Amino acid sequence: MPNIIEKLWESHVVHRAPDSPDLLYVDFHLLHEGSSPQAFDGLRRSGRRVRRPDLTLATEDHIVPTGTLTYPPRNTTAALLMRTLRANCEEFGITLHPMNSQGQGIVHVIGPELGVTQPGMTVLCGDSHTSTHGAFGALAFGIGTSQVEHVLATQTLAAKKPKTMAVNVLGALPTGATAKDLALYIISQIGSGGAQGHIVEYRGDAIRSLSMEQRMTLCNMSIELGARAGLVGPDETTFDYLRGRSYAPSENQWAAATERWLSFSSDDDSDYDAQIDIDAGEVSPYVTWGTNPSQAAPLSATVPEPDSIANSEERLAADNALKYMDLAPGTPLSAIRVDTVFLGSCTNGRIEDLRAAADILRGRAVASGVRMVVVPGSMAVKADAEAEGLNRVFTDAGAEWRNPGCSLCVGMNDDVLARGQRAASTSNRNFEGRQGKGSRTHLVSPAVAAATAVTGQLTSPDRLAVLA
């Protein structure tokens, strides 16, 4: 029996020939300022237009300053990229959500929020974390700049069909364990390359009980498993989230749309090229200690001893990571002090994430000497958070309340750490230099980020309750 991934793929093939990649129809194409300039240059050089501007949407996210909304920004690279995207969208008739406009935000936050991302679709963007949109039961993955040009020109993509993998998350997540912890747990279990060449479907009871925000967090991090994409089959949770959003089907088309969406679903006995089982009951607040997301452990554990790692490649990686992170084996993870806490990104910059952190910070203060930066994932998240008073919770606690953008997730804008600085970060990558040259990153959930801000060292929310 075909699974949802195969059904989605097959339903989008517009041309197939032996020994060549399939040509897939693209339902929606998202753009950001970072990966699109050369693609537009290519179109201009070959005298082509954008085939479906109506199925293309752009936003400014990677390089926008989050401290001020003045345009053009002082940073000349940012100013150039923003000017270029604005001119390209104007010339090719593409809707753009520029900085300081209502629909602006991180590309993987605004797609779902506008209802652009729907089950049964192919959604592409020149950005690896496009996998986020898989949370809706869409086939969504990142593409390179030359492919962005191809999609702009043709609304199709030439791609080789990946293998499929089921990640069965069995049982229920314990109280206090979040989708972020689950993602880090899965990656630490099967490794950064564990799903290489595959598209993953997350299945099982634990997945069904996740909210859309949590499913997005999980699918977002599929890339850190080496997967091409990750998805969750659609259900009532998906439909409830989508209903009434700008791009979602209208009320009189709703029943037909949901029926079609469900027709892609996997069956209980669908086949996959690979299957793994994960026990949700094993998940607890997780943090990374190294320089890739698979180097993660329960917050209650200690920094591992590289010599105890059997696999020689992993041992060497751990050794190098600990040098870069300036950590000694055996140190309790909960004793690691940070100077920055970053709450935001396309992994954890949505309203539920902000609520989870605010619940912990309410009535508490950010530890002295610690800087907490809160960056909503979009203007809509920002507006919702302000309507609920979450911004006040953050600023009363001593955190900075910013404007939407990728910010401290990636060293491509004004928000960077100084060399040697250490952050607890709700983003998805802890690579060397990711938050600025020489910066050190510990990936955490929003709840752990907030608890860490209060104590100044990696802290689980439970522990904070005991300390209070």
Pick from ligand SF4, ligand IPM, none: which does 167 bind, CB < 5 to 8 A by kind? none
- The interface region with ligand SF4, picked from 22-30, 43-51, 352-360, 406-414 by CB under 6 A, is 406-414
Residue 427 site contact among ligand IPM, ligand SF4, none (CB < 5 to 8 Å, cut-off depends on kind): ligand SF4
The correct pick among 34, 105, 134, 344 for binding ligand IPM (CB under 6 A) is: 34
Among 128, 217, 222, 270, the residue binding ligand IPM under the rule CB under 6 A is 128
- Kindly state whether residue 409 participates in binding ligand SF4, applying the rule CB under 6 A: yes
Residue nearer to ligand SF4 on the CB measure, 284 or 345 = 345
CA distances from 64 to 79, 348, 412 (A): 9, 18, 9
d(CA 186, CA 180): 10
CB of 170 to ligand SF4, least distance (A): 29
Using alpha carbons, select from 354, 379, 368 the residue that is nearest to residue 450.
Answer: 354
Beta-sheet pairing, 371-374 with 340-343: parallel
Rounded to whole angstroms, the Cα distance separating 353 from 355 reads: 5
Strands, E, within 283-370: which ranges?
Answer: 286-288, 296-298, 340-343
What's the min distance (Å) between Cβ of 218 and ligand IPM? 16
Which residues within the stretch 61-120 sit at the binding site for ligand IPM (CB under 6 A)? 62
β-pairing verdict for 156-159 and 198-203: unpaired
Q: Using CB distances below 5 to 8 A depending on partner kind, what does residue 284 bind out of ligand SF4, ligand IPM, none?
A: none
For residue 293, is the peptide bond before it cis, meaning its omega torsion is within 30 degrees of 0?
no
Stretch that binds ligand IPM, among 121-129, 171-179, 241-249, 255-263 (CB under 6 A): 121-129
What are the start-end ranges of the E strands in 171-217? 198-203
Dihedral (Cα; 70, 358, 407, 138), 10-degree rounding = -110
CA distance 108 to 140: 11
Query: How many Å apart are CA 111 and CA 103, to the nearest integer?
Result: 10
| Partner interacting with residue 35 (select from ligand IPM, ligand SF4, none; CB below 5-8 Å by kind) | ligand IPM
Smallest distance from ligand IPM to CB 414, Å: 16
Q: Which stretch binds ligand IPM (CB under 6 A): 127-135, 225-233, 301-309, 448-456?
A: 127-135
Cα–Cα distance for residue pair 137/264, rounded to 1 Å: 8
Contact mark string toward ligand SF4, 62..101, x via CB under 6 A:
x---------------------------------------
Instruction: Find the angle CA(280)-CA(282)-CA(288) to the nearest 5 degrees.
Output: 105
As to burial, measured by CB atoms within 10 angstroms (0-12 exposed, 13-18 middle, 19+ buried), residue 157 is buried
Q: Which stretch binds ligand SF4 (CB under 6 A): 23-31, 187-195, 385-393, 404-412?
A: 404-412
Which residues does the annotation place in the binding site? 346, 406, 409
The three-class DSSP label of residue 342 is strand
**Pairing mode of beta strands 13-15, 139-142:** unpaired
Count of residues engaged in binding ligand SF4, rule: CB under 6 A: 13
Q: Is the dihedral of CA 63, 67, 68, 73 positive or negative?
A: negative
With CB under 6 A as the contact rule, the residue among 29, 97, 129, 402 that binds ligand IPM is 129
From the list 126-134, 161-169, 196-204, 302-310, the region that binds ligand IPM by CB under 6 A is 126-134
Q: Is 148 in the site for ligand SF4 (CB under 6 A)?
A: no
Here's the x/- map for ligand IPM, 403-442, by CB under 6 A: it reads as -------x--------------------------------
Q: Does 33 bind ligand IPM (CB under 6 A)?
A: no
Residue with tokens 């969406």: 261
Binding residues for [4Fe-4S] cluster: 346, 406, 409
Q: Which residues bind ligand SF4 (CB under 6 A)?
A: 61-62, 106, 108, 127, 129, 345-346, 406, 409-410, 427-428
Residue numbers of the site for ligand IPM (CB under 6 A)? 34-35, 62, 127-129, 142, 410
